[in-house]
Amino acid sequence: MANGYWYHLWAVCAVPVGVDTAAGTLTLKERPGGYGVRADHPFYVFNLLEEIDRPGEWYMDRETGSLYVWPTRHPWFSTLVLSRWDKPFIQADQVRDVVFQGLTFEYGQQHGLVLNACVNATVAGCVVRRLGGSAIIAPDSANLKLYGNLLHTLGHTGIHVGGGNRRNLTSGHVLIENNEIHHFGRCSRTYNPAVLLEGCGARVAHNHFHHAPSSAMRIEGNDHLIEYNDVHHVVQESDDQGGIDMWGNPSYRGVVIRFNRWRDIGGGEHVPCGQAGIRFDDAISGLLVYGNLFERTSNGHFGGVQIHGGHNNIIDNNLFVDCRYGVSFSPWGQKRWEAFLARDTVKRLMFTDVDIRQPPYSRRYPELADLGTRADLNSVWRNVFVNAEEPTFRKPKGTDTWDNLTAAAIPAANTGAASAFRALPLDEIGTYDDPIRASDE
């Protein structure tokens, strides 16, 4: 098999290959991902006997049933586990009032816990690790609490959850708090974040997300609160992504991203598009980014915050340190904005899936009445940009900017510089001690 970013650096795909040893060639047996192949894009070959050249690599000969392994330690001190469990460890459908606490799930080919349409369910202090699938999947949840869990070494997503009703903006009361999720997306390396959140009214707080090839969070829906999370060493491979990513639906509103720390995001400067701390892609509008710390989160053409085509977003009171660009833009212009809103697929998002013309949308988000106007116009207020090549990159004319400060070093307190900037609650960011909280020990 060969796994690679064959055409786009945000679309990874594994395909079978044929090996011609006489000619010294590898031939792809399928068209990768529907896009085709571009020259000089990264890929690697796996499950090839002659490529075992370092500890940790293996080859399975399915004709003979033989497994060849180079252990990471001497065989006398190694434990090799071959999973035969090809189902989720827990499958719960329409279950109420259940708590899973202090359990360990590991060495499965599939998912850890699948909780379908469950109400008043809690997963707390659990360890879910070394799985081929995702750790926790919980669609259509209500009053769901995922607290103090340790989720790592996962083939796909850490947590995929949805709750509430977007059409009438009813909260699902989903809480994701004080979890550590790392080394996820190891098999499917794009669009498998630590948290894939859908629905309405969830809170994601005080978590620690780190070490992954793509995004830490992918947010779909309305009225979510993302706060006090520590996110680092993500988006290490994929391009055109952010530590948090939202995409393509201008009816997503009311999302607040505040008091988070974003650091060391991206895999280098040599990417066609870029890698950001926060990425608002294709018309994401009307959101608030407040009081965040961005450290080394700007690669390629992206800043710590990247806005692609959206408007009415507020970027307020954030601190950008050692980011090439603080806030970057990909402006569309009024003509492209109106053409986007006229697409049948976008009309379905705005008027069929929900109806932005009627209550509760028209009451909750009154700015939707002017959706067709103000293309590319966002607000950048009271931010501090330290050691930035450009504080704002490709800023559209008419952008609302106020009381931003550019400095060579972090200003000392009470200097009078950027007097409107309010101190960030850095000591409160990240996980916190709790007897319930799980560990690998």
- Beta carbons within 8 Å of 140's beta carbon, 6+ residues apart: 116, 117, 162, 163
Q: What pLDDT does 416 receive? A: 45
Residue type for position 39: A
Output the pLDDT for position 80. Answer: 87
Confidence at residue 417, expressed as pLDDT on a 0 to 100 scale:
53
Rounded CA separation 158/136 (Å): 6
Contacts of 64 (CB under 8 A, 6+ apart): none
Q: Specify the pTM.
A: 0.95
- What is the structure's pLDDT at 269? 62
CB neighbours (10 Å) of residue 143? 17
What are the mean pLDDT values of the chain's consecutive 10-residue runs (441 residues total)?
Answer: 92 91 91 88 90 92 94 88 95 97 98 98 98 97 97 98 97 98 96 98 98 98 98 96 97 98 87 95 98 97 97 97 97 97 98 98 96 96 96 96 92 59 96 96 79
